[in-house]
Structure 1
Amino acid sequence: MALPGIETRFAFFTGKGGVGKTSLACASTLRLAEQGRRVLLVSTDPASNLDEVLETPLTTTPTEVHGVPGLSALNVDPEAAAAAYRERMVGPYRGILPPAAIRSMEEQFSGGCTVEIAAFDAFAGLLAGNEVTQAFDHVVFDTAPTGHTLRLLSLPSAWNDFLATNTTGSSCLGPLAGLEKSKATYAAAVRSLADRQLTTVVLVARPEVSALREADRTRHELADLGVRNQVLALNGLYEAASDDSVARAMSSRHAKAVKQMPAGLAALPRSQTGFIPRGLVGLASLRAFLHPQSEDRTTPAVSSIDRLPDGLATIVDDIEAAGHGLVMTMGKGGVGKTTVAAAVAVALAERGRRVVLSTTDPAAHVSWALDEQVPNLTVERIDPVAEVERYRNEVMGKAGASLDAQARAMLDEDLRSPCTEEIAVFRAFAQSVDKAQDAFVVLDTAPTGHTILLMDSAEAYHREVSRTQGDSPESVRKLLPRLRDPFFTRVLIVTLAEATPVHEAERLQADLHRAGIEPFAWVINQSLLASGTHDPVLTQRGAYEAPFIAHVMQIAAKRCALIPWQVEAPVGELALSSLATQVPNDLRRES
């Protein structure tokens, strides 16, 4: 086992949700503390489980970790910070602007960009070396800012001038107006990130194609901003030690992904940690990881769950019963949204239903559709790059025509945000949904609850101030009420049986509820517990999944499905069809 070497004062761990950022950050800081260093670990993740991993109740100020001399930790609460910014920005206008305008402003400050910039505000002070960090040799951050946030904060912008001209409600720039006085601090923080002598950025990835692709995209984004002091932490590499079919397949898949990783990513300094079957939660687990004495391959009893959920076929049965409608798969990156969407679409088509499968991922698993025609199934691709470019040109031509160079640069960056991409793709999706009146339309990578509310509040504000004209297409205005109609739309929340993906899916469900949408079902993907593996290490991992599966069954919508980890990659009509009909293995019945 090898952890990334941290010699600089600051270190940032970044990567997709569920790749092990928190685990590696905690293990790395524990090792530094054992070497006699004074270390502060900071989490900026709204769904942080840092308290659980370190077995110490944390607050927003440094707290000594019990039993680890030299190690302290704190949780930045970006949600609370974002709420404070939101009220500072919206409060002065209450009673002045109409209610629709206030709702539009509030939703503008409710997106992920607002939360991330609020978090950056908190750790910019830590990077600046305030009194909180002076007592520590190292400050390690769990969850780093994205390239989009760093580009926003590095622009010498006319923030207030731009915001004064923006009444659409569709900007992610709102929180910056409340941070005008902090521009010098932010500029210094961005410079610190790029200083090789001061900061190390750790790109965390699992040995999976999607995670490595995301890490490489982050590498490019940060390098373009001058942040080139990067290292790769490859986490969870599995090497089979038995002849079990699941073990051999996982080992082969991991090895292939590593061999084919992008050249630029492969060239980075790399640390590599093996597959940890029981996770890294608790100080005893962290210490055992750092100082392995002997490998315990005993198989614990699966006693924390009474039963396993049904397979995906039950969900497909319920969807088909409606005869037509919209199906949307939602979830964080890497959980298998595209695979689940394709499996549902193929299953419905094989039952004789007319189906349209629409995806935004040009490298998605729908490659099978290019090589073989599936009766009753039509595949449509929405190119996010093309849709964003079309939307950007439209907005720049209208809103940007009267702006000066600085304000145009700010508007241009705003239109490269994740929120803008969602809205642009959302508009393209809307054109497909009319077909769901007499067929099934399955949408992969669907808009979030925030985007739905953002479009709705902006439209309401526009109706309030204009009445007679609008830029939103008719298809978008029709789509919003349809998304809230449980008889027309069925949302499938896709997750993995792990802490971070489940926590993030819970936040997604809350976001959907805020938008007036009740999820139709949860789908737990890639379960080793349900795979039928007899490999000792993978069986331990399956037992680790059990409490998360039980938790999802308690909090999910009325329906919950479990998809086993697949020996054969779910690519091609036959494999996808099998995915939708496979019954999870109940290991207790086999024992």
Structure 2
Amino acid sequence: MRFLEHPTRHLFFTGKGGVGKTSMSCASAVSLADAGRRVLLVSTDPASNLDEVLGTTLSGKPTPVRGVDHLWAMNIDPEQAAADYRERMVGPYRGVLPEAAIENMEEQFSGSCTLEIAAFDEFAKLLGDEATTSDFDHIVFDTAPTGHTLRLLTLPSAWSGYIESNTSGTSCIGPLAGLQEQQRIYQATKQRLGDASETTLVLVTRPEPSALQEAQRTSEELRSLGVNNQHLVINGTFKATDPSDPIAIAMQFRCAEAIDNLPKGLVSLEQTSVRLASGGLIGINALRQIRGLGTDAENDTAPSDEVKVSSGPMFSMDGFTSFRSLVDQFAEQRHGVIMTMGKGGVGKTSVAAAVAVALAERGLKVHLSTTDPAAHLQSALADEGLDGLSISRIDPAEVTNRYRREVMQTAGADLDEQGKALLDEDLRSPCTEEIAVFRAFAESIAEGKDGIVVLDTAPTGHTVLLLDSALAYHREVTRQSSQMPESVEELLPRLRDPDFTRILVVTLPESTPVHEAASLQRDLRRAEIEPYAWVINQSLSPLPLRDPTLVGRQRNEQSYLNEVRSLHSKRTVLVPWHPVQPTGIAGLRRFVAPVKLKQEDTTVSIS
């Protein structure tokens, strides 16, 4: 990888969910450590899976990685960071102030804003405080999917500006005196992010149009933040080695077509291509093999929806629920909410769009929306419309401005000029956006009273934090607006009602997506929310294959398919890998259609 030839001290790996950020960041960290550099690998993803990939149990402190000299790794745990932050702010007053005052302070620091600033605090120390990382030559950051990461990288500027302009000395996270000491670190963090001699931003993507478009958008946003030293890694390029395997030829064509149409904003970036691996990239040995995966992908043979094969094993669909049957069950409901949840990049948006299209074509009123800042529902639908189907997204900037106006018109209506100025200042806090997005999420759920809402959610970690923070958001909304909207008050009861909300856990037949989905399910159950079904997307198992790389990946799927059916899911839908990208109304119809395997005429039909 060319960016490792002369590596900067800080390496950030970011991109759309599921593109391989963790694999690439871990492989890079192992490579640097093998070269004798002292390396700290850090995950900023609330749903981190560094432990599994590295085969080492990690915590919020640097831990030596087994099997690799000179490599340490850690996870930034938002919950633990928030607990530590609360204690730093409240601890000095224990035994000094009355117990009632201490309880009031602890209540103030229990909100979602504290969770965000505390996690950011840990991130800022690693990047902006030289003393914290003086023992390491390189710090490698494995970040959360794009939307969450952009939020993280804007916070150095946002909090620095807020602290500088604040006149009241208070905020949603309590007295700012405790933050003033951190301002130097925040400013240093901002400076280092934009210093090309110190920081490289590695954009990881897949050879797929949606992932490449997302990489371009991310690149542009990062440039606007002053982060200009960027490198592009196209992960999972593929070239068929068996020309008689039509699935392999179709996959090669899709890969080559995507790269040939690389977005203009990415063309000027230095690039590294990494070939698709035949097995799972779990463990140190597998990570070291990434260095040996070559590049190159080209072909001019177009795929079709019907693939002829001469032979191949038939895969049994016994034990799986058909996608069409699932949609039929939703159609009987006629109102309520259907949510797709899971790790980034597993196809939540495609599943949500396909469900919405199928329900609208049954004559139902359907509203398709998303809480994911990086989701692109219009791309999934190819900008096509359908009677009965409306589409929207929760835009953070838009809902934040709307929330500020609402609070000023209600809570600020009877305040004098000084009071209004203080309230306006409070609402300019960076974490007001989190409150506003939560309000909008609750309003989207409430729309399920009058029709069917299909909601494509943000990647796992961000979504779980959103749900886990519900009661804290209730308190924070009440603090600022003095009114509890019905949508917020009824949110948790609606999410917990299986007749109102049906959650689809979407995953891929691979180690990390399955295990992260299982962890998500445990978190949901702790919140008394029971998933309705699992959708295993992009499976090679139903397809007769000959190409060695694809056969290897097909074999690798079996244990994860069995694990889902036997341990995790009461209803499981299996969606095969499609030779043609499932976009547009016609493509989404194929997504829902059953797979037909015919041994007698050796035809695989995915339409």
TM-score (norm: length of structure 1): 0.79
**1:326 equivalent among 325, 332, 337:** 337
- Mapped to 2, the partners of 1:554 and 1:61 lie a distance apart of 35
1:202 partnered with 2:217: no
Answer with 308-317 or 480-489: which moved more.
Answer: 308-317
- Mapped to 1, the partners of 2:104 and 2:597 lie a distance apart of 51
- Mapped to 1, the partners of 2:503 and 2:286 lie a distance apart of 37
Alignment-derived partner of residue 579 in structure 1: 591
Alignment-derived partner of residue 246 in structure 1: 247
Alignment-derived partner of residue 276 in structure 1: 277
1:423 partnered with 2:438: yes
Cα shift at 1:244: 2.9
1:435 partnered with 2:450: yes
Cα shift at 1:121: 4.6
SS in 2 for 1:414: coil
Cα shift at 1:288: 3.1
**1:524 equivalent among 536, 541, 544:** 536
- Mapped to 1, the partners of 2:119 and 2:260 lie a distance apart of 33
Cα shift at 1:287: 3.1
**2:430 equivalent among 414, 421, 437:** 414
Alignment root-mean-square deviation, CA: 4.2
1:288 partnered with 2:303: no
Amino acid at match of 1:253: R
Cα shift at 1:527: 1.6
**1:564 equivalent among 565, 576, 580:** 576
- Mapped to 1, the partners of 2:154 and 2:379 lie a distance apart of 32
**Alpha-carbon displacement from aligned partner over 1:467-504 (angstroms, at most 9, x marks no partner):** xx954544554554323211122111222233443344
Judge conservation of contact 1:528–1:564 (CA < 8 Å) in 2.
Answer: yes
Query: Which structure 2 residues correspond to residues 203-222 of structure 1 after superposition, within 5 A?
Result: 203-222=203-222
Alignment-derived partner of residue 100 in structure 2: 96
Amino acid at match of 2:378: A
Structure 1 alignment gaps of length 5 or more = 167-172, 294-300
Query: Which structure 2 residues correspond to residues 237-386 of structure 1 after superposition, within 5 A?
Result: 237-241=237-241, 242-291=243-292, 309-322=320-333, 324-350=335-361, 352=362, 354-360=364-370, 363-365=377-379, 367=381, 370-371=384-385, 373=386, 377-382=388-393, 384=395, 386=398
- Mapped to 2, the partners of 1:479 and 1:515 lie a distance apart of 12
- Mapped to 1, the partners of 2:581 and 2:134 lie a distance apart of 47
Amino acid at match of 1:245: P
Judge conservation of contact 1:15–1:204 (CA < 8 Å) in 2.
Answer: yes
Alignment-derived partner of residue 552 in structure 2: 540
Judge conservation of contact 2:222–2:228 (CA < 8 Å) in 1.
Answer: yes
Cα shift at 1:356: 0.9
**1:117 equivalent among 116, 120, 134:** 120
Alignment-derived partner of residue 308 in structure 2: none
User: CA 1:66 to 1:511, structure 2 compared with 1: closer, same or farther past 3 Å?
Assistant: closer
- Mapped to 2, the partners of 1:380 and 1:70 lie a distance apart of 50
- Mapped to 1, the partners of 2:60 and 2:346 lie a distance apart of 30
Judge conservation of contact 2:368–2:453 (CA < 8 Å) in 1.
Answer: yes
- Mapped to 2, the partners of 1:495 and 1:115 lie a distance apart of 30
- Mapped to 1, the partners of 2:490 and 2:505 lie a distance apart of 23
- Mapped to 1, the partners of 2:80 and 2:572 lie a distance apart of 31
Judge conservation of contact 1:8–1:197 (CA < 8 Å) in 2.
Answer: yes
**Alpha-carbon displacement from aligned partner over 1:269-288 (angstroms, at most 9, x marks no partner):** 21111111213222322333
- Mapped to 1, the partners of 2:16 and 2:176 lie a distance apart of 25
- Mapped to 1, the partners of 2:570 and 2:476 lie a distance apart of 35
Alignment-derived partner of residue 188 in structure 1: 188
Judge conservation of contact 1:54–1:65 (CA < 8 Å) in 2.
Answer: yes
Cα shift at 1:346: 3.5
**Alpha-carbon displacement from aligned partner over 1:27-69 (angstroms, at most 9, x marks no partner):** 2233334434343333344444434434445555555545544
- Mapped to 2, the partners of 1:521 and 1:121 lie a distance apart of 39
Judge conservation of contact 1:496–1:502 (CA < 8 Å) in 2.
Answer: yes
- Mapped to 1, the partners of 2:346 and 2:244 lie a distance apart of 27
User: CA 1:35 to 1:562, structure 2 compared with 1: closer, same or farther past 3 Å?
Assistant: same
Alignment-derived partner of residue 445 in structure 1: 457
Cα shift at 1:511: 4.2
Amino acid at match of 1:370: E
Judge conservation of contact 1:54–1:281 (CA < 8 Å) in 2.
Answer: yes
Cα shift at 1:120: 0.8
Judge conservation of contact 2:18–2:344 (CA < 8 Å) in 1.
Answer: no
Amino acid at match of 1:422: V
SS in 1 for 2:381: helix
Amino acid at match of 1:315: L
Cα shift at 1:580: 2.2
Judge conservation of contact 2:86–2:106 (CA < 8 Å) in 1.
Answer: no
SS in 2 for 1:140: strand
Amino acid at match of 2:185: T
**Alpha-carbon displacement from aligned partner over 1:265-315 (angstroms, at most 9, x marks no partner):** 33222111111121322232233332469xxxxxxx99xx99763332343
Amino acid at match of 2:20: G
User: CA 1:148 to 1:43, structure 2 compared with 1: closer, same or farther past 3 Å?
Assistant: closer
SS in 2 for 1:158: helix
Alignment-derived partner of residue 482 in structure 1: 494
SS in 1 for 2:131: coil
Cα shift at 1:523: 1.4
Query: Which structure 2 residues correspond to residues 40-55 of structure 1 after superposition, within 5 A?
Result: 40-55=40-55
- Mapped to 2, the partners of 1:54 and 1:8 lie a distance apart of 23
- Mapped to 1, the partners of 2:427 and 2:222 lie a distance apart of 21
Amino acid at match of 1:337: K
Judge conservation of contact 2:435–2:476 (CA < 8 Å) in 1.
Answer: no
Alignment-derived partner of residue 297 in structure 2: none
Answer with 272-281 or 396-405: which moved more.
Answer: 396-405
Identity among equivalent positions (%) equals 42
Cα shift at 1:409: 6.9
Answer with 516-525 or 531-540: which moved more.
Answer: 531-540
Alignment-derived partner of residue 19 in structure 1: 19
Alignment-derived partner of residue 110 in structure 2: 106
1:10 partnered with 2:10: yes
- Mapped to 1, the partners of 2:123 and 2:280 lie a distance apart of 29
- Mapped to 2, the partners of 1:362 and 1:210 lie a distance apart of 8
Query: Which structure 2 residues correspond to residues 394-405 of structure 1 after superposition, within 5 A?
Result: 394-395=406-407, 402=418
